[in-house]
Every structure is written in C-alpha cells, then in structure tokens.
C-alpha cells in the first residue's frame, strides 16, 4: 500500500483546497492501525496544540510521510471515538495513493463529455481562426471524456495520441447550481499515454492556457458545488 502504522499524516479540508484558500488549516495526526476496506485508524488530530474532533462525513486531502516519500489521497471521516485515554478517527481512503505533486489547484474527479481540436500557432497567438470565413463549430472536433478537472487543467481520454506541447481548444459544459455554463479554452498537452487494455484510447493531461480569471473562478465554483452536493448525498440530505 505504501503507508505504515506510525506514519505522520497532514489533513486539509477539501473545501479549503477547492477554494484555493490561502489560510488552510493543516491538522497533524498519525496512523494507529490499517484496517480492512481501506479504513485507517488515526489519532484525533491536533491544531494549535489542541485536539480537534473532526466531523464525520467531512472529506480531507491526506498527505502521508512515508519511507517512499510524501504520498497523498483523499479521505472521508467515517467514525470518531475514545479508547482508553486516546481519541481516534476512522477514515476511509477514497482513491489510490499517489506521490505528492504540489499543485496550485485541487483536481476534481468527474466524467464529462467534451470536444478537442488542435490549433495552429497563429490561432493560439491571435485568437483568430485560420479561415475567418468558417464557423468554429464547423471545424473538426474530436469527442473526448474529461476524467478530472481543476482551475489549472484537466485529464481527458481521447482517441488519438497528441504530441507533448501541442496546443488545442477544449470545449465542454457544466451545470453550476441551476445554470448551464459552457467553456471553450486553449489547452497545452502535458502528456499523452496509451491506456492499457484499451486499444485506440489515450490519456492526455492538459494545462489551460490564456484562461481568464472569470472562467477559472467558474470551474472552481463548479467543483465546489459538485463536492457540496456529493457531501449532502453522503449525509442523506438529498
């Protein structure tokens, strides 16, 4: 698994990461037991020298200090209790452990339909189509699936390999509360790798380019509202 009993953990509320909150609270804890079904028993965390009883069903980004370096995943608090003189939490791991990558924005796992097309250097530089007589919607777009998204980029599945550093346009729509919001963003390819066992499919990582603060804020709002709705469902509120 990569983590061990005794490993130190830092927990940050996912809501604060999604909002890119500059005043994030980092709660320090450690693993006491590794249980079945990806459940960990951890010490009730400490903040400013005080024990903090984190709320059940709240989600956190967990950073583990291990012999392999820093590992990270998201967790949800499933229980809290006292045993003897010690206070514990049980947390369930929500995704696979990965090496910590210092990102400016939280990545939200999703499954969205989208479209992608590669653009010329001139179009990227000027923002103008190579053939101004054509409608952008009439140009050849490829259907894609968006697997995760953040204010800084996205991970997608496409039907062809695209070279690193190629620049394209990515189109997709999301629902934010009761509003449908569409995006049409420049994006640079950071990596393109074949998906094992899926012939003709490639996983691409994209970095948004020239994105406006307004579009970035809308993406972050979409992520925040999606997480809020998921949390309400977990709590049986909807």
pLDDT per residue as tens digits for the range 170-200: 999 999 888 999 999 999 999 999 999 988 9
- Write down the pLDDT at residue 102: 54
Q: How many helices (H) and strands (E) does the chain have?
A: 3, 15
Residue 18's pLDDT band, with cuts at 50, 70 and 90, is: confident
Q: Does the pLDDT value for residue 114 go beyond 80? A: yes
Nearest residue to 152 (alpha-carbon basis) of 223, 74, 206, 191: 206
Helix (H, G, I), strand (E, B) or coil at 166: coil
The pLDDT, as a whole number, for residue 238 is 63
Distance CA 73, CA 80 (A): 20
- Report how far residue 75's alpha carbon sits from residue 91's, in angstroms, rounded to the nearest whole number: 6
Give the tens place of pLDDT for each residue, 115-167: 999 999 999 999 999 998 999 999 999 999 999 999 899 999 999 999 999 99
pLDDT at 39: 95
Q: What are phi and psi of 97, to 5 degrees?
A: -70, 140
Six token digits for residue 44 = 């009730």
What is residue 15's predicted lDDT score, i.e. its pLDDT? 87
Q: Across residues 28-43, what is the average pLDDT? A: 92
Which residues, in sequence order, are CB contacts of 215 under 8 Å at separation 6+? Answer: 183, 185
For residue 105, is pLDDT > 80?
Answer: no
3-state secondary structure of 63: strand
If DSSP codes are grouped into helix, strand and coil, which group holds residue 100? coil
Which comes out higher in pLDDT, residue 77 or 224?
77
Beta pairing partners, 73: 62
Predicted TM-score (pTM) above 0.75: no
Q: What is the mean pLDDT of residues 51-69?
A: 89
Task: State residue 47's pLDDT score.
Answer: 81
């Amino acid at each position: 698994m990569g983590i061990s009993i005794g490993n130190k953990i830092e927990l940050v509320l996912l809501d604060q990461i999604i909002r890119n909150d500059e005043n994030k609270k980092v709660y320090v804890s450690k693993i006491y037991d590794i249980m079945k079904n990806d459940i960990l028993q951890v010490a009730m965390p400490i903040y400013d020298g005080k024990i903090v009883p984190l709320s059940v069903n709240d989600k956190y980004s967990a950073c583990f200090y291990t012999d392999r370096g820093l590992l990270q995943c998201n967790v949800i608090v499933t229980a809290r209790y006292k045993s003897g003189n010690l206070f514990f939490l049980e947390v369930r791991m929500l995704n696979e452990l990965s090496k910590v990558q210092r990102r400016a924005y939280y990545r939200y796992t999703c499954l969205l339909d989208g479209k992608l097309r590669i653009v010329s250097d001139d179009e990227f530089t000027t923002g103008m189509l190579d053939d101004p007589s054509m409608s952008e919607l009439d140009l050849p777009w490829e259907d894609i699936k968006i697997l995760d998204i953040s204010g800084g980029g996205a991970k997608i599945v496409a039907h062809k390999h695209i070279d690193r550093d190629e620049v394209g346009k990515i189109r997709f729509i999301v629902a934010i509360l009761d509003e449908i919001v569409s995006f049409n963003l420049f994006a640079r390819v950071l990596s393109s790798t074949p998906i094992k066992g899926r012939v003709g499919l490639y996983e691409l990582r994209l970095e948004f380019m020239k994105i406006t603060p307004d579009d970035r804020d809308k993406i972050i709002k979409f992520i925040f509202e999606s997480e809020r709705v998921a949390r309400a469902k977990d709590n049986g509120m909807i």
